[in-house]
Amino acid sequence: MTKQYESDVLIIGAGAAGLSLALRLAPTHRIAILAKATLLESNTRYAQGGVSVVMDENDSIASHVADTLEAGAGLCDTEIVHFVVSNGPECIRDLIQQGVDFTRDKDTNGYHLTREGGHSHRRVIHAADATGLEIQTSLLTQVKAHPNITLYESHLMLDLVRDKQLGCVGAYVFERNKKEVMSFRARMTVLATGGAGKVYLYTSNPDVATGDGIAMAWRAGCRVANMEFVQFHPTCLYHPEAGSFLITEAVRGEGGKLLLPNGERFMPRFDPRGELAPRDIVARAMDHEMKRLGAECVYLDISHKPAEFIRSHFPTVYARCQELGIDMCAGPIPVVPAAHYTCGGVMTDRNGCTDLAGLYAIGEAAFTGLHGANRMASNSLLECLVFARSAATHISQHIADRAMPPALPEWDESRVTDSDEEVVVSHNWDELRRFMWDYVGIVRTTKRLQRAKRRVDLLLMEIREYYGNFRVSDDLIELRNLAVVADLIICSALRRQESRGLHYTLDYPESDDNRSPITTILKP
């Protein structure tokens, strides 16, 4: 018999979006939070740079809005951009009251603000170079202490459960340690599952970023939008033992220069803003130079700054480089672009509501209209905080209208067996990530996308057959979700017959300026 749990609100994901939402709802509602791995393992934890917010007297909401719109290459929702940016300062004040220890400016005794790509002012508030970890740790401390919040680690969501009258009534979940399926029912369900960077061979994302929320919302009948816009972070550490370690954009914001292997600076040839151009421009320039030269990487150099400045501003990056024998105070850091952020996602309104009654999506899993064709640096955590706040308000106002759903149907394993072909899963996982990197990466062509589409169609068919015959496992669940997300990215990219923002294709190298920019919307 399937174990069943219930709560007023089920939050799937334990990053900044999910934790912020839980704390806002907990005083009056019973909350269950599901984390697919440990409580600290999320994209939030690895966000080094900070949160973009207007806090300097020389800055303005209008300027932040204008910078975001420019980075988004004509596809941002102007009203949503203004909504997010104008609500940012209050959300940061809430974090400060909750104990988040942002870095102070020694000269002014205010908060230190750094500048990143696409920003015209210093407006990124941060906690040294480990902002995400500081935010997540602070929020988790409060969540763990709250009597109305129950945390579940190592719980991987399988699928949402739909009711014809009520809409979303909960989810089936795989308990990874016990290898068993259980169900969680709730009046409201929130997807705060993060992005899908693991669909690519090289990514800055942790292993949990497998697009679970996007895939399950799609299977449940929700629309998705702008999935072709995958942001590649320009500067991931290039080293055989580095894994997916990110070199924060703040290194460039504080004067770091990108160099070719011969020491030549190249970014001014591509954009007058140099290293502080938006990420799509920097990543394409790096990709171009690496392919032109046959180089495995380029280099990021901030060694012209005083050593104490480097160690105090970038302690996390400095320590990791030292572990690998790289002294960033004395010389450049080898870097490469890697998949970093999913700009598209499950379509929502400004309250986080999806197409399915009772289901919300916030954070990277959602498409809100904020990022357009390219996310501006450090707007991601801002989006998490603002939409957690607006979703909490909406849920509180409407949850009384929804009764607790009845017990969910039993999970049926009567016609499946244990697999003796796990190698199929591992091979398909590797094939998927490789052809996505080769064919659906920084620079695309129609022929490459069509090749990727043929391969993903075959994989989806094999996965459906495998899923129907064998008991589920961690790798199978994630592979199933990744394949769905890969297909959504490919289909969206094939529809966009122009180059815009993060989507660059050699067959259509210019933006189509003869008509208004169109958001790519896919319907199940």
Give the per-residue SS3 of 396-449.
HHHHHHCCCCCCCCCCCCCCCECCCCHHHHHHHHHHHHHHHHHHCCCCECHHHH
* Structure-token match 């899923």, residue found: 467
Nearest CA to 320 out of 130, 38, 112 is that of 130
Dist CA 148 CA 407 (whole Å): 21
Side-chain-side CA neighbours of residue 405 (13 Å):
29
Nearest CA to 190 out of 30, 321, 358 is that of 358
DSSP-derived secondary structure letter, 503: B
Angle (deg, nearest 10), helices 61-71 and 78-97: 120
**DSSP state letters, 129-144:** T-HHHHHHHHHHHHHH
Q: Which of 45, 123, 252, 279 is catalytic?
A: 279
What radius of gyration do the chain's Cα atoms show? 22
Dist CA 165 CA 432 (whole Å): 37
| Residue 485, CA distances (Å) to 47, 215, 225, 436 in order | 22, 6, 12, 11
Cβ-contact 204, 238 below 8 angstroms: no
Nearest CA to 133 out of 248, 302, 210, 251 is that of 248
Give 470's strand partners.
417
Dist CA 459 CA 452 (whole Å): 10
Reply yes or no on whether 185 is catalytic: no
Dist CA 152 CA 83 (whole Å): 33
* Strands 345-347, 224-225: pairing kind: antiparallel
- Any idea which residues carry the catalytic annotation? 279
